[in-house]
Amino acid sequence: MGKRIEWTDSAILEFKAEIDYHKSYSIGFAEKFRISILQNIDISSKNPYFGMPTSIDYVRCKSIMRRFTIVYYYKEDEDRISIFRIWDNRRDPDWKFKKL
């Protein structure tokens, strides 16, 4: 069993917005995106070190489909992983760490 997963409000909004955006162009891609994100979050809950460390303490990133990044927080002495962002890498790369 993996760590408990918590989503921030902004991560939920970003996730839903990406799905809605991609649905308007391709329902198949939107579903592929949704499944890929959820599978990788599940893997991260079982192996919190799955993502790459960042310059911010306890914050890790995992690239998905080369186009998106999951930004999450994990600290060894806690039983949870907090999902901060579902980031489209075509946007300003520095912005994904703001407001963490």
Domain count, the chain: 1
Nearest one of 54, 38, 56, 29 to 2, comparing CA atoms: 38
Per-residue pLDDT, 88:
87
Task: Identify whether 100 is part of a domain.
Answer: no
Domain carrying residue 34: 4-90
Task: Identify whether 97 is part of a domain.
Answer: no
Per-residue pLDDT, 70:
93
Per-residue pLDDT, 89:
85
Task: Identify whether 98 is part of a domain.
Answer: no
Task: Note the pTM of the prediction, 2 decimals.
Answer: 0.83
Per-residue pLDDT, 1:
73
- Residues of the chain falling short of pLDDT 50: none
Task: Identify whether 96 is part of a domain.
Answer: no
Task: Identify whether 95 is part of a domain.
Answer: no
- What is the 8-class DSSP label of residue 24? T
Cβ atoms < 10 Å from Cβ of 44: 22
Task: Identify whether 79 is part of a domain.
Answer: yes
User: 39: domain CATH number?
Assistant: 3.30.2310.20
